[in-house]
Amino acid sequence: MKIFRCIIILVLFSINNVYCQNILDSSRISLGFPVYSQYLQNGLMINPAYAGTRGVLSSSLSYRMQWMGTSGSPVIQSLSLHSPLKNDKVALGLIAQFMQYGVTKSTSIYADYAYHIRLRRGRISLGLKAGTDLSNTDYTSLRLIDADDPVFKTNDRPFILPNAGAGVYYFEDRFFAGLAIPSFLGYHRTNNGSVVPHHSFSDYDFLITGGALFNVSRILKIKPSFLMNYSLQDTKKLTQFDINANFIIADLLWAGSSWRVTEQVIVGIIQVQLNDQLMFGISYDYPAGRMSNFSKGSTEFILRYEFRYKVSAANPRYF
């Protein structure tokens, strides 16, 4: 509870400081949720309440090449760790993300805290995260038509943007559902070029997830799921809507596909549970819409290793 209070005080203090800054212009800095295709195997990416839900110290590495074939397209690397403590009601997590697009590099580092409550059939987890986003743009590396353009003669000032988010996550053996707000603070550029926090409910994004597990036969299971990213920004619309289906064969091979409705993207996913601790996955996003004229698609790799004191292949985890 002390951690919850400290994070809330930090967020409120940052919000209060907004009114001591210069008048904001209309230049909003987007801190939206990066697109991943294998988020179901690392739920900490989208919801801090996921921390500790796998019951062990779980570590994940991912590497994503977005919009391959497009100059300056994003490359996203991430590392995450999360684990329950000895008192399994409390869990901690850490996630670091490194992204480069064009001449901009950004780093995000967040710590997660989750509190688990046992219910009759499953558990509900309440989570908070706090950390910072760092961004830096190197304008001097651009090839310019006008080499004397003063706007691009120096690098953009690096930004350090503290933030916090929250989520709730319910899970049991055959079902899960979650709701998360990735960031409470938005940021805007002032007229003099500086960046200040700006709290507004219209800046909120809501990530909603859900899914279930069905036994088809002794060796085949089906796991349908969905993800919605609903934005309260001016347009008030779904910025991402995924419909997913995974086929789990003998608890060894996961073959799945997704339809990203909002972007008209078809995703194919193959994941192999090499043993009870190690999983490797690869996915490919095929742009079926207008982006097919500009991009060769996106590829993502994920590697997950779980540290177990007692390995038990008889009780695999599907969420």
Handedness of CA 19, 21, 25, 26 (dihedral sign): negative
Give kind and range of the element (H or E) at residue 274: none
The C-alpha atoms of residue 227 and residue 298 are separated, in whole angstroms, by 18
Other beta carbons less than 10 A from residue 36's beta carbon? 22
CB proximity list for 8: less than 8 A, separation 6 or greater: none
pLDDT recorded at residue 191: 66
- The CA–CA distances, whole Å, from 118 to 86, 141, 308, 316 equal 16, 54, 22, 20
User: Are 207 and 229 a contacting pair, CB within 8 Å?
Assistant: yes
Backbone φ and ψ for 16, nearest 5 degrees, come out as: -65, -35
Task: Output the six-digit token pair for 308.
Answer: 């177990």
Long-range pairs, 218-223, Cβ under 8 A, ≥24: 219/249, 219/250, 220/247, 220/248, 220/249, 221/247, 221/248, 221/251, 221/318, 222/246, 222/247, 222/248, 223/247, 223/248, 223/256, 223/318
Provide the residue-wise pLDDT of the chain in tens; the chain has 319 residues: 444 444 444 444 333 333 333 333 345 565 556 778 888 888 999 999 999 999 899 999 999 998 888 878 889 999 999 999 988 899 999 999 999 888 788 899 999 999 999 998 899 999 999 999 988 877 666 666 666 666 555 556 678 889 999 999 999 989 999 999 999 888 777 766 677 777 777 778 899 999 999 999 999 999 999 999 988 775 566 778 999 999 999 999 999 999 998 888 999 999 999 988 899 999 999 988 776 677 788 999 999 999 875 544 445 678 8
The C-alpha atoms of residue 35 and residue 283 are separated, in whole angstroms, by 13
User: Are 22 and 194 a contacting pair, CB within 8 Å?
Assistant: yes
- 2-307 maps to which CATH number? 2.40.160.40
pTM of the entire structure?
0.84
CB proximity list for 100: less than 8 A, separation 6 or greater: 74, 75, 106
Three-point CA angle 235, 238, 240, nearest 5°: 130
Closest CA to 281 of 305, 300, 267: 300
Closest CA to 196 of 12, 30, 14: 14
pLDDT recorded at residue 151: 59
Tell me the domain boundaries of the chain: 2-307
